[in-house]
Amino acid sequence: MEKVEFLILRNLLYNEEYVRKVVPFLKADYFENFNEKVVFEEILNFVQEYNQPATREVLCIETEKRQDINDSSFQEISDLISSLEESPSEFNWLVDTTEKWCRDRAIYLALMESIQLADGKDDTKGRDAIPDILSDALAVSFDSNVGHDYLSDYEARYESYHRKEDKIPFDLEYFDKITKGGIPNKTLNIALAGTGVGKSLFMCHVASSVLLQGKNVLYITLEMAEEKIAERIDANLLNVNIQDITDLPKTMFDSKVNDLAKKTQGTLIIKEYPTASAHSGHFKGLLQELALKKSFKPDIIFIDYLNICASSRYRAGSNVNSYSYIKAIAEELRGLAVEANLPIVSATQTTRSGFASSDVDLTDTSESFGLPATADLMFALISTEELEGLNQIMVKQLKNRYNDPTVNKRFIVGIDRAKMRLYDCEQNAQQDVIDNGQEEEYNPEEKPKKSFNDFKF
């Protein structure tokens, strides 16, 4: 039976379409036999240098120039090259067979490397690298997509315009309006607020609403204990004042939780990390661990909150300014959102001037203006004494890649701090907001505005 390696080498000489399809994905390490590896390396060098398949004559000449083979090895390699005769194979079968062989070899090599790491025989990497090594090997595939051809791919582009995007909707009317139905995957969404205004309350409320939609939620906290976050979500979902939860009889608490479990097919996992100790690499490892141990894949991640995360690129205590550090954290979290194909929701603090302001702006973002540059959606949560007395909170759009941020630029939502819950206000509450960006109703009695045609020159 012919070896797959021999089949690959032969077609690399005689099938140009096959060469252009598979060469970007083949690696010399995949070839276990030294002679086959040498032949492949020379084929690859020629293709990269001259952009066309090599010939047997070229391989013989180039092999003879090598300094890492002796006379007997050269003779064996020459015999191998001579045996590579043209023999056509069905193209799709050939590509599929090659892809499977590459994946099998990648997994085998990854397992061998993981064993070396587990035995402590590699000084350059630690055991923490094992999940990434195995994940990369399992992800080996022949992806031919190298970009969008504007003129040739117009049909696919048209279909994408009319394809319903997978979004996670809010249970709040105006948040749904400004995001056109919810937040999409591969995005970073940031709430900006001062201390005690309601960052964690907002995230706990949205996490609760997403759970009730039957989706899986991962809530990562670096500020409060897991139990404190769970207590806030209990207040929201069980419809109990947070101060009264500890007074609930065990039977009543069990009954409420069991009733809740019947309403949703989703799962909520809360994971606590020490402040400023965890970064996107830890979160990625957590996702892999949850998938292996609990078969849990989140639909959305909440991180409470961004400024007290660590950066995977900058060492803690290193001489780096806050702008670069916080921007790096934001970029790493957005990269995690793209890699995991889900939305991430987090929060950030206002500056001291922004804390007392009733009209927070992007410049009031604490520590780094690089954060709003990275976020897809950013909004401020604003509380004043007047709003507090009405049990309301103002939301102001600061950046929005999903919709026009000047429409509904400001709006009001109700807040029930005792039950850690947000709710929609009546429409008249929105009309009192100055510069809310909503379209004004047409009044026929108003005099029409003058146009440029009315001016005399």
Q: What is the DSSP string of 306-346?
A: GGGS--SSS-TT-S--HHHHHHHHHHHHHHHHHHHTS-EEE
Cβ(360)–Cβ(396) under 8 Å?
Answer: yes
Q: What is the pLDDT of residue 372?
A: 83
Task: Classify residue 413: in a domain, yes or no.
Answer: yes
pLDDT of residue 35: 92
**Cα–Cα distances in Å, from 114 out to 59, 106, 129, 137, 286?**
35, 12, 8, 11, 19
Q: Is residue 159 included in any domain, yes or no?
A: no
Domain with residue 50: its CATH number is 1.10.860
Q: What is the pTM of this model?
A: 0.65
Q: Which residues contact 175 (CB under 8 A, 6 or more apart)?
A: 395, 413
Q: What pLDDT was estimated at residue 451?
A: 47
Mark whether 250 and 395 lie in a shared domain. Answer: yes
Q: Could you give the CA distance from residue 4 to residue 22 in angstroms, rounded to a whole number?
A: 14
Same structural domain, 97 and 201: no
Residue type, 116: Q
Question: Is 404 part of any domain?
Answer: yes
Which residue range(s) make up the domain with 411?
Answer: 167-431
Domain membership flag for residue 439: no
Q: Assess whether 87 and 218 both reside in one domain.
A: no
Domain co-membership, 214 together with 271: yes
Domain shared by 322 and 245, yes or no:
yes
Residues 199 and 348 in one domain: yes
Backbone angles phi, psi at 366, to 5 degrees: -75, 145
Over residues 6-24, the pLDDT tens digits come to: 999 999 999 998 998 898 8
- Provide the pLDDT for residue 432: 66
Determine, yes or no, domain membership for 392. yes
Cβ 374 vs Cβ 188: under 8 Å:
yes
Domain presence at residue 144: no
- Residue 280: CATH number of its domain: 3.40.50.300
- What confidence score (pLDDT) does residue 316 get? 64
339 CA to centre of own chain: 4
Task: Provide Rg for the chain, Cα atoms.
Answer: 30
Q: Are residues 186 and 117 in the same domain?
A: no
Q: Please check whether residues 242 and 385 belong to one and the same domain.
A: yes
Q: Which of 234, 232, 212 is nearest to 224 (CA)?
A: 232
Note the pLDDT of residue 435.
57
Q: What is the number of structural domains in the chain? A: 2
- Any domain includes 155: no
Per-residue three-class SS string for 175-207: HHHHCCCCEECCCEEEEEECCCCCHHHHHHHHH
Task: Say yes or no: 132 and 178 in one domain.
Answer: no
| Claim to verify: residue 126 and residue 199 sit in the same structural domain | no
pLDDT in tens, 75-84: 999 999 999 9
Whether residue 354 sits in one domain with residue 211: yes
Residues in the chain, pLDDT under 50: 1, 439-444, 446-452, 455-457
Q: What is the pLDDT of residue 258?
A: 92
pLDDT for residue 171: 92
> Does residue 160 form part of some domain?
no
330 and 190 in a single domain? The answer is yes
